[in-house]
Structure 1
Amino acid sequence: MNALLIIVNILVLFALMFGLFMMQKKHVSFSKRVFTALGLGIIFGFIIHLIYGTTHEVTTGSIDWFNIVGYGYVKLLQMVVMPLVFISIVAAFTRLKLTKNIGKISFLVIGILLGTTAISAAVGIGSALGFGLDGIQLNEGDAEKARNSQLEERVAGVENMTLPQQIIELIPSNPFQDLTGARPTSTIAVVIFSVFIGIAYLGVKRKESEHGEFFARIIDTAYSIVMRVVTLILRLTPYGILAIITRVTATSDYEAIAKLGKFVVASYVALIVMFIVHLLLLSFVKLNPRNYVKKGLPTLTFAFTSRTSAGTLPMTIKTQTKDFGVSEGIANFAGSFGLSIGQNGCAGIYPAMLAVMVAPAAGVDPTSLSFILTLILVVAISSFGVAGVGGGATFAALIVLSIMNLPIAIVGLLISVEPLIDMGRTALNVSGAMTAGVLTSKATGEFDQETYQQPNIVEA
């Protein structure tokens, strides 16, 4: 009987996917198809949750099959991340788009990412204090105990990691290994390797122009092929979002979310406030924030549902270049650096809120100016190369709490609402990377104002 019900659920998913396919055939816009998929997934997943619950065999069996579409799509995006980063940055050199401003571009992108992370830490502190969050009130169940035991094993290595060691982790020792994504910092390592290849190309072009031109043609051809692969994958976005959000709504523990509702609300208030800060920064350089929201929403929606900044990278770059008018080189720098440096949600808001919540348990006044300023500085510095490592937000929180000599047990106590909050954090991380790209492109004069002002989203 259960097997039959699972088959029925699979057929329903296929029917919904067919409906999205027909919308595409009728040339319904990409953004409308994405949001239709989001709405259908929420409804379908919630119905499964109401009928069967989160742990029933029908639910788990159905989700297992749905993951072929959802996780399969995410894996396809992750598949193309490294080739896209490498070939796009090298192509920016061969097309003479990064020859003059590479130092300035790197400085601005990293500076904006770290600066906005410092701001996000202040926002997280304000939200935690404003809502009166207190870590002492959290209860530890079996799942939380198991989680904390894992964290205790991990924190030993975290406490010994200094900032210079974090920076060294970004440097590639084996670029071919990093091209496979073997390390958490592989993306940044590939960026650095690509820059060296680009600089070497410029030297060869000056001294041996024939070899330089031949290499440029190879890169140009490879770039066309890679971008075609990206286009083919991005067309699957509505189907991926449908399957992913169905899984999320069907398997969420709503009782646990209700118990920690105050923390969830405070987290999302902080995330929304920081997103508004991004819009204010765009307004400051005389760019219409409405265009940013409208054209960036499909990408932010995917980041929200998938909870993967790396998987969102192809969409992040596409949105910057095709919809916002950011140059290819800057878009790749901002998107790639944004995976491991200065993630506003995971490395900024989250660890800052946790630090405020556990400070009273350690005998520290979280409202004191010295504590707040120290926390903001620690969050900004520790976000350099940490957020993209291992468990992302968890790793960043462990670093901050350890440096501040605060108890780490609170990280494990929030395991039940971690997925829900991580959705918003990931979307904010991606928004921070895109904002850094737009602002850097604007500052370096490599920004296409007409592309940004166009009202419609460019189809994949």
Structure 2
Amino acid sequence: MVGFNAQIEKHKNYTGSTMSATKTKKLGLTSKIIIGMFTGIILGLLLRNLFPESDFIKEYITEGVLNVIGTIFISSLKMLVVPLVFVSLVCGTCSLSEPSKVGRLGGKTIAFYLFTTAIALSMAILVAVAVHPGNASMVVEGMQFDAKQAPSLSDVLINLVPTNPLHAMSEGNMLQIIIFAVIFGFAISHIGERGARVAALFNDLNEVIMRVVTLIMQLAPYGVFALMAKLALTLGMETFGSVVKYFFVVLGVLLIHAFVVYPTLLKLFSGLNPFTFIRKIRDVQLFAFSTASSNATLPVTIETAEHRMGVDNKIASFTLPLGATINMDGTAIMQGVATVFIAQVFGIELTITDYAMVVITATLASIGTAGVPGVGLIMLAMVLNQVGLPVEGIALIIGVDRLLDMVRTAVNVTGDTVATVVIAKSEGEFDEALFNDTQAGKVAPGFNAEVHAEEHKVNR
């Protein structure tokens, strides 16, 4: 009888574990986003080809339903950027009470970002010169591009310090927010017990904001679906054929930088497994691709770095907002290839000095580049002026820039996360067991990322 009861219990346990395993085999967030992305593209292309001149589709579907859903999704991400950056950066700086540690962390971060940007630019120029995507016969009479005025380096430096922090927050000026948050957090850490109470409040606020991030991530597949469907319906492909070589040169260099250069640097500087990193960064890359904005993706990037990669909050809250503002490797690649392309189209020979000037100018310009869609074209105008190339040449590439903007944003956020992991490892603020856990921080029904992370800290 005892043996029979044991068999029943064994059967119950087996059945329960089987049912539990079945329940957990639900689609993850990455799979849902990919499905949303491709179904959106397919729907958009179908509607575009079946109803090419339909006012109903344009007015009620493209600019109506899809535009509303997509815009709400982007707005929900942007809604969190300023409070997330400010609160998390204050939390991080509070724990870095030593001025030398703040300076060391800032120096490492900026040096790494500028180093990878210089690599990206150099590689882009070398590949563009070798492949020669430009053709002088492509010059179109009367083409124009109205370039906005790019800020000078002196203006960038002057504007680092906000005259009104609240105005900086309302305008979303990330560099000014970062500077104020660092000063504010540093002051909190130096006023004793009263500062500890304020720091505890900010830590609680940070937990609340990260919970909101988790909730919004659940809506991502629907937002991505709407964005991709609208893109497929509205993207003009007429100019694509004329610049197809340029497009694939930029795309090829972007992919090499994301999946060869970054993993190599990760392995070289941290010794971590690049394949594990690539698997865990997929959600962030998909968000960045869909939004074409490093700033809009920032909540997801921070959440992933802390709860999936094992980076301590004090590092992630400092390096990632800074990276979303100054680390623009994808944009730098576009600028390098575009400069060579436009020079070839207009038959202008660039010297070694000119190429060096492009690398220096574009690298420094990345410091003042906001992480928003389309800003790369503004900075490209500045680079072209620096080497005496006609800014009107941007009109040739503007037709395909939207697609490339999406890819280079995914590259940018990958670089931000690589730098964050490398710096966290070098500072001893990294949980390698959490990094190697494939299930860590994975978004699933009932999953608590904070509890999972705490379990790893206990077991470490």
Q: TM-score, normalised on structure 1?
A: 0.84
CA distance in structure 2 between the partners assigned to 1:33 and 1:361 by the alignment: 42
How much does 1:459 deviate?
3.3
User: Corresponding residue for 1:13?
Assistant: none
Contact kept in structure 1, 2:132 and 2:344, CA below 8 Å? no
How much does 1:309 deviate?
1.1
Give 1:278's match in structure 2, choosing from 219, 239, 262: 262
| Gap change, CA 1:131 and 1:443, over 3 Å in 2 | same
- Give SS of 1:456's match: coil
User: Corresponding residue for 1:216?
Assistant: 199
Give, as a single letter, the amino acid of the residue that structure 2 aligns with 1:197.
Answer: F
User: Corresponding residue for 1:17?
Assistant: none
Answering whether residue 327 of structure 2 is matched by residue 315 of structure 1, we say no
Answering whether residue 341 of structure 2 is matched by residue 351 of structure 1, we say no
Contact kept in structure 2, 1:90 and 1:198, CA below 8 Å? yes
Answering whether residue 432 of structure 2 is matched by residue 449 of structure 1, we say yes
CA distance in structure 1 between the partners assigned to 2:390 and 2:135 by the alignment: 10
How much does 1:310 deviate?
1.0
- Give SS of 2:240's match: helix
User: Corresponding residue for 2:167?
Assistant: 177
Give deviations 1:164-207, integer Å, cap 9, x for gaps. 22122222111111112x15xx11211111111111112211xx
1:54-453 to 2 correspondence within 5 Å? 56-64=55-63, 65-95=65-95, 101-134=101-134, 136-140=136-140, 145=144, 148=145, 150-151=146-147, 154=148, 157-158=149-150, 161-180=151-170, 182=171, 186-205=173-192, 209=193, 211-275=194-258, 276-284=260-268, 285-346=270-331, 348-360=332-344, 364-366=348-350, 368-388=351-371, 391-453=374-436
Give, as a single letter, the amino acid of the residue that structure 2 aligns with 1:36.
Answer: I
- Give SS of 2:184's match: helix
- Give SS of 2:327's match: coil
Contact kept in structure 2, 1:321 and 1:328, CA below 8 Å? yes
How much does 1:131 deviate?
2.4
How much does 1:290 deviate?
1.0
Long gaps (5+) in structure 2: 1-21, 444-460
Range moving further from structure 2, 219-228 or 437-446: 219-228
Contact kept in structure 1, 2:293 and 2:373, CA below 8 Å? no
Contact kept in structure 2, 1:345 and 1:425, CA below 8 Å? yes
Answering whether residue 51 of structure 2 is matched by residue 52 of structure 1, we say yes
How much does 1:68 deviate?
1.7
CA distance in structure 1 between the partners assigned to 2:212 and 2:23 by the alignment: 19
Range moving further from structure 2, 285-294 or 75-84: 285-294
CA distance in structure 2 between the partners assigned to 1:296 and 1:97 by the alignment: 31
CA distance in structure 1 between the partners assigned to 2:382 and 2:179 by the alignment: 25
Give, as a single letter, the amino acid of the residue that structure 2 aligns with 1:236.
Answer: L
How much does 1:288 deviate?
1.1
Give, as a single letter, the amino acid of the residue that structure 1 aligns with 2:274.
Answer: P
How much does 1:34 deviate?
1.6
How much does 1:361 deviate?
6.6
| Gap change, CA 1:288 and 1:54, over 3 Å in 2 | farther
Give, as a single letter, the amino acid of the residue that structure 1 aligns with 2:130.
Answer: G
How much does 1:259 deviate?
2.7
Give, as a single letter, the amino acid of the residue that structure 2 aligns with 1:433.
Answer: D
Range moving further from structure 2, 94-103 or 170-179: 94-103
CA distance in structure 2 between the partners assigned to 1:380 and 1:134 by the alignment: 23
Give deviations 1:207-229, integer Å, cap 9, x for gaps. xx2x2232123222222222222
Contact kept in structure 1, 2:374 and 2:405, CA below 8 Å? no
- Give SS of 2:368's match: coil
Q: TM-score, normalised on structure 2?
A: 0.84
CA distance in structure 2 between the partners assigned to 1:431 and 1:305 by the alignment: 14
CA distance in structure 2 between the partners assigned to 1:60 and 1:25 by the alignment: 41
CA distance in structure 1 between the partners assigned to 2:360 and 2:437 by the alignment: 39
How much does 1:25 deviate?
10
Range moving further from structure 2, 196-205 or 54-63: 54-63
Give, as a single letter, the amino acid of the residue that structure 2 aligns with 1:52.
Answer: F
Q: What is the aligned length? A: 419
Give deviations 1:125-180, integer Å, cap 9, x for gaps. 123223212264435488x53xx1x22xx3xx43xx43222122222111111112
CA distance in structure 1 between the partners assigned to 2:425 and 2:175 by the alignment: 23
CA distance in structure 1 between the partners assigned to 2:153 and 2:23 by the alignment: 48
Range moving further from structure 2, 226-235 or 107-116: 226-235
User: Corresponding residue for 1:29?
Assistant: 28
% identical aligned pairs: 27
How much does 1:48 deviate?
1.5
Give, as a single letter, the amino acid of the residue that structure 2 aligns with 1:446.
Answer: E
CA distance in structure 2 between the partners assigned to 1:31 and 1:71 by the alignment: 21
Range moving further from structure 2, 309-318 or 218-227: 218-227
User: Corresponding residue for 1:6?
Assistant: none
Give, as a single letter, the amino acid of the residue that structure 2 aligns with 1:356.
Answer: V
- Give SS of 1:406's match: coil
CA distance in structure 2 between the partners assigned to 1:57 and 1:417 by the alignment: 26
Give deviations 1:427-450, integer Å, cap 9, x for gaps. 111111111111111221211111
Contact kept in structure 1, 2:292 and 2:372, CA below 8 Å? no
CA distance in structure 1 between the partners assigned to 2:379 and 2:217 by the alignment: 30
Contact kept in structure 2, 1:90 and 1:194, CA below 8 Å? yes
CA distance in structure 2 between the partners assigned to 1:98 and 1:305 by the alignment: 39
Contact kept in structure 2, 1:387 and 1:396, CA below 8 Å? no
Give deviations 1:307-335, integer Å, cap 9, x for gaps. 11111010111111111111212222222
Give, as a single letter, the amino acid of the residue that structure 2 aligns with 1:166.
Answer: V
| Gap change, CA 1:128 and 1:57, over 3 Å in 2 | farther
Contact kept in structure 2, 1:24 and 1:33, CA below 8 Å? no
How much does 1:96 deviate?
5.5
How much does 1:50 deviate?
1.8
| Gap change, CA 1:293 and 1:97, over 3 Å in 2 | farther
